[in-house]
Every structure is written in structure tokens, then in C-alpha cells.
Amino acid sequence: MPASAPIIDIAPPHILVVDDEKDIIELLSTAIERAGMTCSTATSARDALDIISRIPVDVVVTDIHMPEMSGIELGRRIKACSNANVIVMTGHVKDFTYEEIVAKGASDFLKKPVRLKEFIARLKRVLGERGTLASRNRALTDLKHNLEKYRLAMDGFVQAMSRAVEIRDPYTAGHQRRVAKLAAAIAEKIGLSPDRIHGLRLAGAIHDIGKIGVPAEILCKPGKLNELEYGIIQLHPKVGYNILKDIAFPWPVAEIVLQHHERLDGSGYPQGLRGEAILKETRILSVADVFETIATHRPYRPARGLDKAMEELETNSGILYDPEAVSACQELFSDNRFSLD
């Protein structure tokens, strides 16, 4: 025989009634229990706070006028230490408005003497809204968890693509990683949002993915490239864009990869874009890419060092490279707080 479904024990709502009049407490607690809910009672605000500190309570029903502490002050303290809803009762309706009571954090406002049917109906409404809010909070928590899982998977996928490029081109192993690190540091110094910096870091980690389409003998050639070979190399931003364009990144990763050899004066490739037509993230990435390329070893030449790399950026700041990104790069290395490794 198939196993029977497990019985899920759902505890009934727990209501706390607070009033210095015992007759009111007895009347309301009886109605609450007849409606299938659990009820605790207190004759003072201090007793109520003690109960809440020990027992989970869903809704507190409290009178306003009580010795030592008013129901409004009690509601304020409850909101500071618990997620219980508060329903306020009073026989002095003229002293308060519904809007005033709700503004102080109450979920509802009842006039004494309380009609029991209305009281139970109001209580169920508050509990219903409470359940809906709890469901929404759970759904939001699940959504955040799933988004984090998606982001981690996406980051892992990008890193795998980055390693695939570097396996084919061992001479520039680590180039993309270093460029991504430097670009993110520049972007942070400039003041880009953390979200945009994350997208830039991912784009930097795979900005040369299009080199998968370049023959290995060209990538690893120890001498100067001829015109045909250089033309093939220049295809890699477009190849990279075609690889990435259909992936639904939350950032313009494919466009950043496509533009990373564009220059402010229009002398770059593949589109010859100028100035503001180039994405801000791309302008930052270009500075990081040029700096790292000059500073480190390449198959066709030894590393030229940090000074030569900075000289290139300074000489062509505002001409080829974004001056704000160049300035931020200068600051990073001038205070010795940043290292490419």
C-alpha cells in the first residue's frame, strides 16, 4: 500500500489580549478560543511585554488607557521587539482618529464596547494580511536565494570561458584576470556602482574570448605580425561579441567586449566609435587592457614595465583614452596600494 501523506501540524494563531478590565479579557478570550485560536491574557502592559518575550504571539489586542503604560506606548515597544501585529481598543473614540492610531503602528482600531462578530472579523482580516505578508517575504527570500545561485553559476561560467582562452594562449595566461582586476579597481575609484563594477569585472575576465577564433600560431608568434595576421587579430572583438551576444547577462558584457579596442578619437576597431559613443565601462577596460599589455611580457617582446605603461596612458589621455580612467589608474599605482599580480 502507498505510504500515507504526512500530517502537517499547523499551530493556530496566538492572540494576546491586554486590558486592565477582567470582564473584557474574559469576553474577548472566550470569543477568540471559540474561533479556533489560542489566547493569552495580561492585565498590564508590563505583563504583556513579559509574555511576548517568552512566547511567539501573532496579534496583540490592547486597550489604550491602562495604568503605568498606554496601549499606544505598548504597541510601540512591541514593534521594537516583535513582529506581532497590534489592534488597539478604546472607549474614548473622540480622543483619537483611525489615521492617528494606524500611523503609530497599529493594524486596526476598535471602539468599545466591542461587538464580538466585528471583533473576530477584524482579527481574521489582520491575520489574513499577516499571512499574505509572510508568504511574500518567503517568496522574496527564495527569489534572492535563487538570484544568488544564478549569479554564482554565471560567474563560474565566465571564469571557465576565461580559462579556455588562456589554455590556447599560454603567453598571456592571467592577462584577462589582471585586466579585470585593474578595471574593477579603476571603476571603484571613479565611483561606479557595485553592480556595474561586477558586470565590468566579468567582461574583463573574458574580453579576449574572441581569440578562440585566432590560429594558435598567430597568437604565439614570437616576432612581429604581418598585415594579414594583424587583420586576423583585429577580428577577435567581433568574434567575442558573436559568442556572447545571445547570453542574457544583466550587464552589456557583449557590447563591452566588442568595443574594448575602440579609442576616443575614432582610431580604434572594429567600429571606429568616438567619445561618448563608447560605453563608460569599455573606456575603463581599455585603459586597464593597454596598461597591462605594455607592462607585462608578450611573445613578441619582453615586459616594458609600469613606467612605460603609464607614460603611454598619460601621453594619450583625452586623445585615445578616457582621462578620468587614466587619472584613476595613476592614483592606484602612485600610492602603491595596487599590484597587477
Coil/strand/helix, residue 168? helix
Convert 202-223 to b/e letters by CB count within 10 Å (16 or more is b): bbbbbbbbbbbebeeebbebee
**Given 79, 104, 124, 211, which residue is catalytic?**
211
Q: CA 153 to CA 147: how far, in whole Å?
A: 10
C-alpha cell at 174: 592571467
Is 144 one of the annotated active-site residues of the chain?
Answer: no
Torsion of CA 163, 164, 165, 168, to 10 degrees: 110
Instruction: Provide the 8-state DSSP code for 210.
Output: G
Cβ neighbours of residue 127 closer than 8 Å, sequence gap 6 or more: 13, 58, 59, 85
C-alpha cell at 268: 580604434
Strands (E), 134-284: none
C-alpha cell at 228: 594579414
C-alpha cell at 259: 568595443
Cβ neighbours of residue 310 closer than 8 Å, sequence gap 6 or more: 291, 329, 330, 333
8 Å CB contact between 339 and 327: no
User: For residue 241, which phi and psi values (nearest 5 degrees)?
Assistant: -60, -45
C-alpha cell at 39: 489566547
Tell me which residues are annotated as active site: 211
